[in-house]
Amino acid sequence: MVNILQENTDGIRGHVNLNAKTSPQAINEGDCIGHSNCHAEKRLEQLQNVAKNEAHFSKFNMFREIQEQQETIELSLNQQPADLIKASEFITNADNIYISACGTSLNAAYLGSHMLSHISKYDSKVMIGSEFKYSYERLDPNCVLLALSQSGETSDIVNSVRHARSEGCKIISFVTNQNSTLGKLSDLVLPLRCGEELAVAATKSYTAQITIMTLISHYINGTHQQLIRDIKTTIPNIVSLCSNTQSAIYEASLLLCQQKACYFVGRGCNRITASEAALKLKEVSYIHSEGLSAGELIHGTLATIEEGTLLFSICPSDDTFGDTISDISYAKGKGAYIIGISDVEHQVFDKWISIPKASECLYPLLSIIPLQKLAFFSALAKCVNPDSPRNLTKIVSTSQETTKRQHSNGI
């Protein structure tokens, strides 16, 4: 049961005043990782000392929620067989398949679309929640809209769904709370089963959403039992990372906290992981970051690369590996410092965050967890509280504005 809607001074649940400045809660000095004026080696030593006792970080919702993914990814697989049958019927019978979401859920939507076309060979179109009303796609009873939202209350999604429903579209929602506004507007709800998410930055809801999208894609393909076996054997290894990986993350977070900006790159589905990693870092550490296709580096971004620019490359040993290595080699030639996230090491990496080898469709789950940790530790390295990022709220649900917009759209 989700209980995270905010109450504003008018006492209207779910109404968040975006004009109000939200101040982050202070962080205890003891939780800051190193002091900005101390030498990098000393800061690393401090970080490693604190990190020996992971329980120390459990006071932060974001850290607990990252760790919980060991269980929540598996729990999200636990969908009712009747619901999977209904979801696959809606998808396979539809003339057009749309997927809509905002923020982190939007990245899950892009991954879901990738999985649907890659695994089950059904093409879908991702529509940004806030752009839905400006699109001119056909919406009718032969279409299905998959709405992804952790809270089920985000106004841009709720409005999109109301509009699609009014045109007769079938709605499948992926939400934590089945009784949310979105849940109530849906023909079918696939619950995320990841429990309440308190940190503003979404972590376990994202992995639950992509797990369910991957499950549906395999279900349509008839290969879901193998997927379930693979997830059960692979996931426990990644949340409790090996110590080499842990220290690579700490070292990278110390490098990051001295930077104004960085890049995350990947190809194929790893490009979407790059976007989500960049969003997570921005949200909690305020470091500007951009996630992009590694292949796009040479089409403009290379001009910004200079000595020491941090570039994270998500390049597991899937079919994107060779191309991505060649893309980042160009950037390294211009001075970029390359941090590789991969199950295999490569000489182009200056630092390697290792992930386990797995079947291809699991890499989006495996790669994002160390990158969520990277965002968390980068916030601490900047003495920022990762649980309460400035200017952000868990739910952007402006109920009065929603009503006004619906009237003006004739919904």
Span interacting with ligand G6P, options 33-41, 330-338, 364-372, 387-395, rule CB under 6 A:
387-395
Residue 41, Cβ neighbours under 10 Å: how many?
10
* Crossing angle between the packed helical segments 103-119 and 269-285, to the nearest 10 degrees: 170
Residue 137 token pair: 């796609």
Does the protein bind ligand G6P through residue 275 (CB under 6 A)? no
Residue in 66, 157, 256, 331 binding ligand G6P, rule: CB under 6 A:
157
Does the protein bind ligand G6P through residue 107 (CB under 6 A)? no
* Contact in structure between 392 and 379 (CB atoms under 8 Å): no
Does the protein bind ligand G6P through residue 385 (CB under 6 A)? no
Span interacting with ligand G6P, options 6-14, 46-54, 62-70, 98-106, rule CB under 6 A:
98-106
* Contact in structure between 348 and 338 (CB atoms under 8 Å): yes
Is 339 in a helix, a strand, or coil? strand
Residue 104 CB, nearest approach to ligand G6P (Å): 4
Residue in 149, 211, 245, 367 binding ligand G6P, rule: CB under 6 A:
149
Q: Which of 340, 307, 246, 251 is nearest to 40 (CA)?
A: 251
Please identify, using beta-carbon distances, which residue of 161 and 252 lies nearer to ligand G6P. 161
394 tagged catalytic: yes
Q: What is the 3-state secondary structure (H, E, C) of 233-254?
A: HHCHHHHCCCHHHHHHHHHHHH
Span interacting with ligand G6P, options 87-95, 147-155, 264-272, 291-299, rule CB under 6 A:
147-155
Residue 261 CB, nearest approach to ligand G6P (Å): 20
Does the protein bind ligand G6P through residue 192 (CB under 6 A)? no
Does the protein bind ligand G6P through residue 392 (CB under 6 A)? yes
Does the protein bind ligand G6P through residue 194 (CB under 6 A)? no
Please identify, using beta-carbon distances, which residue of 105 and 289 lies nearer to ligand G6P. 105
Distance, CA of 96 to CA of 139 (rounded, Å): 8
Q: In angstroms, what CA-CA distances link 324 with 125, 296, 330?
A: 25, 10, 10
Does the protein bind ligand G6P through residue 202 (CB under 6 A)? yes
Span interacting with ligand G6P, options 75-83, 131-139, 200-208, 220-228, rule CB under 6 A:
200-208
Strand order in the sheet with 96-101: 125-128, 96-101, 143-148, 170-175, 188-191
Distance, CA of 384 to CA of 175 (rounded, Å): 29
Residue 202 CB, nearest approach to ligand G6P (Å): 5
Does the protein bind ligand G6P through residue 103 (CB under 6 A)? yes
**What single letter denotes the amino acid at residue 313?**
S
Residue 210 token pair: 């992509």
Please identify, using beta-carbon distances, which residue of 32 and 101 lies nearer to ligand G6P. 101
Which residues are at the interface with ligand G6P (CB under 6 A)?
Answer: 102-105, 149-151, 154, 157, 200-202, 392, 394-396
> Which of the residues are catalytic?
394
